[in-house]
Amino acid sequence: MSRSGLTVNFVACQLSALCAAFWFRLYLSPGETSPAVRHAFATIFGIYFVIFCFGWYSVHLFVLVLMCYGIMVTASISNIHRYSFFVAMGYLTICHISRIYIFHYGILTTDFSGPLMIVTQKITTLAFQVHDGLGRRAEDLSSEQHRLAVKAKPSFLEYVSYLLNFMSVIAGPCNNFKDYVAFIEGRHTHMKLLEVNWKEKGFHSLPEPSPTGAVMHKLCVTLVSLLLFLTLTKTFPVTSLVDDWFVHEANFLTRLCYLYIVMQASKPKYYFAWTLADAVNNAAGFGFSGVDKNGNFSWDLLSNLNIWKIETATSFKMYVENWNIQTATWLKRVCYERVPWYPTVLTFILSALWHGVYPGYYFTFLTGILVTLAARTVRKNYRHYFLSSKALKAVYDIVTWAVTQLAVSYTVAPFVMLAVEPTISLYKSMYFYLHIISLLIILFLPIKPQAHNQRWPQTLNSLNKKMD
């Protein structure tokens, strides 16, 4: 989503994409239309929406796509993921930097960096999955890497369709190439049902689940989020965190509570954009994930957030795992699982670079590293004392919920403030309390060794193979 908020062009494009998605599913269905035609229409619509929304800035998107397709065609399998990663991230970073220095922290109403960020995720995801499929032995892959590995380089039409299709080019989310191609070819829902052993559970035929219910539910969430954005967000602007009343007059407890309220008020625009993007994909028939624990068809394959789990999170980790889910998954697949050293730190750094070069992002991610390490240490040292009874567990959950919400508000405030001066002003008014507490916890609480199975699966001999 554009950091400029809910622009008219953005909303118009996404609502047009929603209508196009219903038309695409009903009149260009896989049973009656060839994959090539579906690829072509998805791409043409996507290019049109990008040009309409971002004008000549959309050239950046097309240049990056063409450069990286050249790498896909010409680079050796052993280097295809490296070259694609550095070119895509390098171009994205150059665009981020140019916006800072040319526009002096100004935020354009036509902020093209949002689609560029999504395309960067897709380019690198596909490059690593092609490398896994063609350049690594099956026994060296994790089960997920094996499932997602791409066994042949995509054609030009498949490549541009995956990167520029109208369902996700404006607001995402990132998805896997194999899932996208299966959707275009009409194998998407059946593939997901087979993955959950549908026939082994006694069902002899594969149904065609309708996304209509899921789309209607997500549109209702979108509408509520829009109303909250138009009311709450305007009532509690981020700029109020640096006004004289907050900095000089309010007491510390009031600042804590007010910071929480302001950060809550900043969420609806993200809830709106990501839920609407999810609905667009579902309306086209993409996003089916199988069957949930209650036996109902689920359409959350591309969901970018879980609002209930965010608002009830009892740990920093739980909060992060349910916010911008597809970006977290991308970071895991291209960085955390593959780097041999300091995976948490390097993943935070990549996340910051991907988001941009505003100083506020780096305050957030550096603070996030401290808070994550401190929270992990506290959890390992004390959580087991509260599991002996339901009453103690309830007390633990209430306390950790409150601490998590306050910690997240403190950590992410610079992310929406962007610049150095307001960030320092805010943290000074809060006495840098969370930084100090986190450092004390890390320095003085004993660090218990992390169990091997608590990290995303890796084998002991994978350090060298990760760099292949």
Query: 153-191 pLDDT, tens per residue?
Result: 999 999 999 999 999 999 989 999 999 999 999 998 888
Helices first, then strands: H and E counts in the chain: 23, 2
Q: What is the pTM of this model?
A: 0.90
Looking at residue 98, its pLDDT comes to 85
Mean pLDDT of the chain: 89
- Per-domain boundaries in the chain: 8-186, 210-301, 305-468
* Res 445: pLDDT: 87
Residue 436 has pLDDT above 80, yes or no: yes
How many Å separate Cα 50 from the centre of its chain? Answer: 20
Does the CA dihedral 13-18-21-23 come out positive or negative?
A: negative
pLDDT digits (tens, 9 = 90+) for 207-239: 788 999 999 999 999 999 999 999 998 899 999
Q: Band of the pLDDT at 132, cuts 50, 70, 90?
A: very high
Tell me the pLDDT band of 448, cut-offs 50, 70 and 90. low
CA dist., res. 44 & res. 38, Å (int) = 10
Would you place residue 103 in the very low, low, confident or very high pLDDT band (cuts 50, 70, 90)?
low
Q: What is the pLDDT of residue 191?
A: 81
pLDDT greater than 60 at residue 291: yes
Which H helix or E strand runs over 40? helix 35-54
- The yes-or-no verdict on residue 465 having pLDDT over 70 is no
Rounded CA separation 384/400 (Å)? 14
Q: Does residue 141 register a pLDDT over 80? A: yes
Q: What is the mean pLDDT of residues 25-53?
A: 95
**pLDDT for res 290:** 87
* pLDDT for 249: 92
Read off the pLDDT band of 200 (50, 70, 90). Answer: low
CA distances from 87 to 91, 93, 121, 298 (A): 6, 10, 12, 36
pLDDT in tens, 60-83: 999 999 999 999 999 999 999 999
Q: Is 290 helix (H, G, I), strand (E, B) or coil?
A: strand
Q: List phi, psi (to 5°) of 290.
A: 120, -135
Mean pLDDT of 404-431: 94
- For residues 306-312, average pLDDT: 96
Between 19 and 189, the higher pLDDT residue: 19
Give the separation between CA 150 and CA 225, rounded to whole angstroms: 37
Instruction: Name the 3-class secondary structure at 284.
Output: coil
User: In the block, which residue shows the tokens 């610079």?
Assistant: 414
Instruction: Decide if 15 contacts 52 (C-beta within 8 A).
Output: no
Evaluate if residue 197 carries a pLDDT over 70.
no
Class of residue 403 by CB neighbours under 10 A (exposed 0-12, middle 13-18, buried 19+): middle
Known catalytic residues are: 324, 355
Share of the chain above pLDDT 70, in %: 90
Which residue type does 321 have? Answer: E
Q: Which of 346-371 are b and which e, b meaning 16 or more Cβ less than 10 Å from the residue's Cβ?
A: bbbbbbbbbbbbbbbbbbbbbbbbbb
Residue 297 DSSP SS3: strand
